[in-house]
Amino acid sequence: MRLCLQSRQILQDDSLTRGLGDCEAQMLVEWVIDWIELIHDGIESDSIRERAIARVVRQARTIGRFVRYWHENDRLAAMQLAAVEQAHWPLPRAPQDPVALLRQILRWEDRHRPIA
């Protein structure tokens, strides 16, 4: 029940997907929901679980903004955002389709992000 409530709250918050195309927005929301499910299944402590979910949502917002800036040719803003948010994924070297860029970043995050 609580998982559904958290997922619904995230889906209703447009700051997660603001400025993204439909495909990118759907990919990002699905990624967040998948991580919420993993966190709920893997962490018993409510306080640790809530912090882990908050980190995933914040990271998703950062990723979404980065992809938007990069796609809008605002590379400087994208690089500054990545630096300020301490993003560790490899930065693209050239213009890239936003769906491909988002997919690349999410795959990197899936391989390198701990559950807690």
Return d(Cα 92, Cα 79) in angstroms, integer.
10
Yes or no: say if 20 and 30 are a contact pair by the CB < 8 Å rule.
Answer: no
Contact, 66 vs 109, CB < 8 A? Answer: no
pLDDT value, residue 5: 67
55, two tokens: 């980190």
pLDDT in tens, 68-93: 999 999 999 999 999 999 999 999 98
**What DSSP letter does each residue of 38-55 carry, written as one string?**
HHHHH---HHHHHHHHHH
**Mean pLDDT (the chain, rounded):** 89
- At 17, which helix (H) or strand (E)? none
- Flag the least confident range among 8-12, 49-53, 58-62, 70-74: 8-12
Percentage of the chain with pLDDT > 90? 63
Q: Contact, 60 vs 13, CB < 8 A?
A: no
| Res. 115: pLDDT tops 70 | no
Confidence at 2, pLDDT banded by 50, 70, 90 = low
Q: Is this prediction's pTM over 0.85?
A: yes
Per-residue model confidence (pLDDT) at position 58: 92
